[in-house]
Structure 1
């Protein structure tokens, strides 16, 4: 039995999470997934209801959950919430407190979308890569940080900081993942101009030589990696990089498929004594307040995040693969939301796209 906490969040988060939860419950009803599901508000709704972004009871649920299924966070209205409250109820706090250091962001090109991608099919056909983004250190957590002084002399400061241990565990995670895939790791840094980047490269190189010589390793500077993702994305297997570059590059890789709405993610802790990892699963798209409430958001990133949950938290790789095939089968059958539809193609709403996946699960469940 795994304890799953559902946090729909802001914007389109509740809409896509609702559909992901429908799919998750199908696996409980039909494939033997043993799970206890609890749902709590997250984001601006907590501030409106309780005067705090993070009620104590919600935080207690977060700390006890085995896996969190998350929607999205952030709205323009949150600018009125004090900065300290936003930090208290933000994703960064969850990632740091649960030590979710390894962020998996797979990018796999469905054949059905080759013609709707902005890239030429010959460049992107067969793309199957995975980012491992270090998630609990680097630019988003380093200190000092903040804005000081008075206008017109204000100064904004963020600190890019890594310890050897923080780099080492991300590197080991990436090498282990590569051994289950095509045995190739690309490590990305800016060691030519950043001391933390130089340390990153040195540590990754040392771990590779001592522990993972069977895995092929190459190093790329972050700007060169961005170029290579555009011109030759099939040359990548596992990409390991720091928090900032992992955020930017994995979002940019969403253009290969044509929409961030297609991309899932998993954030994992180190394994405990029983070998289980704490985890948070979410689509990598944001809250998209411009389309929130319209029922047009693409739920596939959230649904594919359920596949990652099945694989990494539930220990059900066959069921994870079944769900991934169902998504591809729905796309092969012409199911499209507006963000991935070619001109003239029929467009499905959020609920109908999820139903197309469920229909394929029902049809192809064996």
Structure 2
């Protein structure tokens, strides 16, 4: 979709803000540029719609050199969202959203329909908000309108320059969630500039970390956290994020393999013997294909030892189950509601793959924390 080939930006005084960048952004990707102040992230983004001209190399959009495009038309076909929102105060919300479609010659009826559609998409009732003015909206609502305006002419590419930077933390997190929801619906190619690493990790499909006008590492959040290219990336991301982020610790890393399992037809006496031998107070019950049926506790078995013939009679369904594709964050959220404090882990066919317990979670995070500590 967007290709940089040896792209540089040198100012008349000789300062090179961007140095020989080579990368490709695929269609539908959510890309984040991040780095310290003055690293060239905003300059790089603004070169895509030629708000800043580059001095060397080539930028192509869908294979076409953008220098061959009319810059006004190029910008009208690329959505743009800035931190200060930039809504026209004397225009209604509907008029603000309809600005680019009007410039592109859309009919009044089509503009109105599109504005109402986008207001609904961003969670603002058209009957309530379309006729209001920017001053009548909160900062978060104005920023939503800014996003809607960028999407108004249905561009394939949307550039976002620190759009949530001026908002309070709660509103910022809400809008991040809203943007992720929108992206699942509209699937645009988004280039997003931020200075907030947590925001980048939350939103991006891939993150480009810039330093002194160069791309130091361009990878998925998972790879950046697990395989930082060198010391600068590790320092910029933060060692605590690298070692402790539960979003990027997989269930496979925290589960105990070969949990104690039994068929539902097992007698309670034999089940208790097995539990004593394996030093556990719970059994995972599976069928002949090792598919999860439920959980049995030693307490329930002891209480009804003389009244039951098989453990199936005291087996209870697992209230919370983890897929093998899950993360430590999933486990942390589910463990509080887990029956007997354990989380069975199953594969895509519901076969038992392992088990996560409170103690295994604590052990992993203690090890991660210890690994991330600096030795003094």
Higher helix fraction (1 or 2): 1
Highest CA radius of gyration, 1 or 2? 2
* Normalised TM-score (structure 1): 0.30
RCO greater where, 1 or 2, for CA within 8 Å and sep 6 or more? 1
